[in-house]
Amino acid sequence: MRNMVDMHSLWRKLRLLVAVSCTCAALAPAPVVAQARHATTLDALDRHSFFFHGQEIIVVTDAASEQVLTWLVNADDSVRLLAFDVPPPPAGVRERLEVIGTFYDVGRLDEGDQRLTGLPIRRISEELLRKSWPGIGELPVIVATSSQPTDAPSATTLRSIVLDPDRYVDRGVTVIGRFRGRNLYGDLPEAPDESRWDFVLRSADAAAWVVGREPKGDGFELDVMARVDTGRWLEVTGAVRVEDGMVLVDAGVLALAEPIADRPRSAPAADPPRLPPPEVIFSAPLPDDVDVPQDTAVRVQFSRDMDPDSFDGEVRVAYTQPGRTEVDADAPDILFALAYRGRNRVLEIRFDRELERFRSVTVTLLDGVTANDGTPLPPWTLSFFVGG
């Protein structure tokens, strides 16, 4: 990931290793649920690795070689991803490629995961990171299933914009796509939150946010929260920009459109993507924190948008024995109120009265808590100690 590893120096650190073939062993077959392909960019993969981890992706980017290794690099070299099963270009040459494959944040996988069979991950990690296996975010890779040279697109489409947004920034474009509401199908990793009318437009394997206009016009008015409206197609005219790795179209004109071929090249029909389960990525207080103020509030941040209603009856807060999670039967009950802040994916727990001094408190999210698509959050516990 950016600033995590010095990708430029990796080959120099691997010189003493046994040479790695440019065509590494193919991934071992594993029973997986069919997933939709995501057209994206290296910048988006870098910023949203959790969302893309384990997903089939397609990128159009430059490839460069360092001896037998192939790197995919963005325009300013700020993101470089190691690519397996992509033949390296000639030394000193950058080749524009369309690459289809699976993206992995290797640190999220166990060393014995069969999806990495035949790949020299351990040797790379030992030489680059000085440990046998990378941590989360330390070694992102793409394992390719196909790669081919590509030229500039002959027509402006939603797909061509998503794959190479820099080519279209600040240019007027007109694109056609299926209305997908406010990311109702998990097409994109996050929302720009520029207005309550922001919506996703999708065509083939590409999706982008449309901002600046309500999804209504001559003869139509669509609801960004209604799946029943996602069968409609729109023609959007506006200007392209990129924010935090997200492709946005500032809409000027919206109109209904006839459906177009909605299949990417060589892509099988697929159900909406099955997203990874949500995770807790931050809490305040921190786990096992001590000397926490009596008037504290608890804030829990999640990796995905959550279903606010799923917290009802699924949150427990109690005084517990120090260093343990068993409820202290002699302690009073802790009364609290919940508020979910969707913009920041934060659950806030506020207590009706100050917590008692010198007490251990445990917050538990039970197995009924879910993301907004129904995917359950694994049960989670936070314990901290109240100070004086």
Percent over 70 (pLDDT), the chain: 86
Q: DSSP readout, 148-191?
A: EE----SS--HHHHHHSGGGTBT-EEEEEEEE-TTTTT--SS--
User: Measuring CA to CA, which residue among 209, 204, 197 is closest to residue 240?
Assistant: 209
> Taking a C-beta distance cutoff of 8 angstroms, is the pair 365, 300 a contact?
yes
Same domain, 243 and 361: no
State residue 331's pLDDT score: 87
What lies within 8 Å, CB to CB, of 314 at 6+ separation is 365, 366, 367, 368, 369
Average the pLDDT over 303-313 and give the result.
92
Mean pLDDT of the chain: 85
Domain count, the chain: 3
Quickly state the pLDDT bin for 274 (edges 50, 70, 90).
Answer: low
pLDDT digits (tens, 9 = 90+) for 122-181: 888 888 789 999 999 999 999 999 999 988 888 899 999 999 999 999 889 999 999 999
Provide the β-strand partners of residue 225: none
What lies within 8 Å, CB to CB, of 221 at 6+ separation is 214, 215
Q: Does residue 271 sit within a domain?
A: no
- Residue 343: pLDDT above 90? no
> Taking a C-beta distance cutoff of 8 angstroms, is the pair 210, 155 a contact?
no
pLDDT digits (tens, 9 = 90+) for 184-227: 999 999 999 899 999 999 998 999 999 999 999 999 999 999 99
Q: Does residue 115 sit within a domain?
A: yes
Between 16 and 59, residue with greater pLDDT: 59
Same domain, 360 and 309: yes
Quickly state the pLDDT bin for 261 (edges 50, 70, 90).
Answer: low
The length of the chain, given as a count of residues: 388
Question: Which of 241, 256, 271 lies at the terminal end of a domain, its last residue?
Answer: 256
pLDDT digits (tens, 9 = 90+) for 63-76: 998 766 788 999 88
Distance CA 298, CA 346 (A): 10
The C-alpha torsion from 56 through 61 and 66 to 67, rounded to 10°, is: 70
State residue 222's pLDDT score: 96
Q: Does residue 341 sit within a domain?
A: yes
pLDDT digits (tens, 9 = 90+) for 215-260: 999 999 999 999 999 989 999 999 999 998 899 999 999 999 998 8
State residue 273's pLDDT score: 56
Question: Which of 106, 122, 149 lies at the terminal end of a domain, its last residue?
Answer: 149
Same domain, 227 and 206: yes
User: Which has the minimum average pLDDT: 75-84, 311-320, 358-367?
Assistant: 75-84
Same domain, 113 and 11: yes
Q: Does residue 273 sit within a domain?
A: no
Distance CA 65, CA 95 (A): 10
Cross-sheet strand order for the sheet of 315-320: 289-292, 380-386, 360-365, 315-320
Same domain, 145 and 168: no
Same domain, 89 and 189: no
Between 14 and 38, residue with greater pLDDT: 38
Average the pLDDT over 12-16 and give the result.
41
pLDDT digits (tens, 9 = 90+) for 93-138: 899 999 999 999 999 999 888 888 878 888 888 887 899 999 999 9
State residue 28's pLDDT score: 37
State residue 264's pLDDT score: 54
What secondary structure letter does DSSP report for 240? Answer: E
Same domain, 108 and 164: no
Q: Does residue 275 sit within a domain?
A: no
Average the pLDDT over 307-325 and give the result.
88
Quickly state the pLDDT bin for 18 (edges 50, 70, 90).
Answer: very low
- Residue 23: pLDDT above 90? no
Same domain, 180 and 139: no
- Residue 15: pLDDT above 70? no
We report the CATH number of the domain holding residue 296 as 2.60.40.3710
Quickly state the pLDDT bin for 262 (edges 50, 70, 90).
Answer: low
Same domain, 287 and 250: no
Provide the β-strand partners of residue 242: 247
Q: Does residue 109 sit within a domain?
A: yes
Same domain, 87 and 210: no
State residue 22's pLDDT score: 35
Q: H-helix or E-strand containing 57?
A: strand 56-66
pLDDT digits (tens, 9 = 90+) for 349-385: 999 999 999 999 999 999 999 998 889 999 999 999 9
Same domain, 250 and 370: no
Q: Does residue 349 sit within a domain?
A: yes
Count of beta carbons in the 10 Å neighbourhood of residue 190: 16
Q: Does residue 269 sit within a domain?
A: no
Question: Which of 97, 115, 149 lies at the terminal end of a domain, its last residue?
Answer: 149
Between 299 and 9, residue with greater pLDDT: 299
We report the CATH number of the domain holding residue 17 as 2.40.50
We report the CATH number of the domain holding residue 196 as 2.40.50.200
Q: What residue numbers bound the domain in which 181 lies?
A: 158-256
- Residue 7: pLDDT above 50? no
User: Which has the minimum average pLDDT: 36-40, 128-132, 342-346?
Assistant: 342-346
The CA angle 117-123-124, to the nearest 5 degrees, is 100
State residue 272's pLDDT score: 54
Same domain, 243 and 309: no
- Residue 6: pLDDT above 70? no
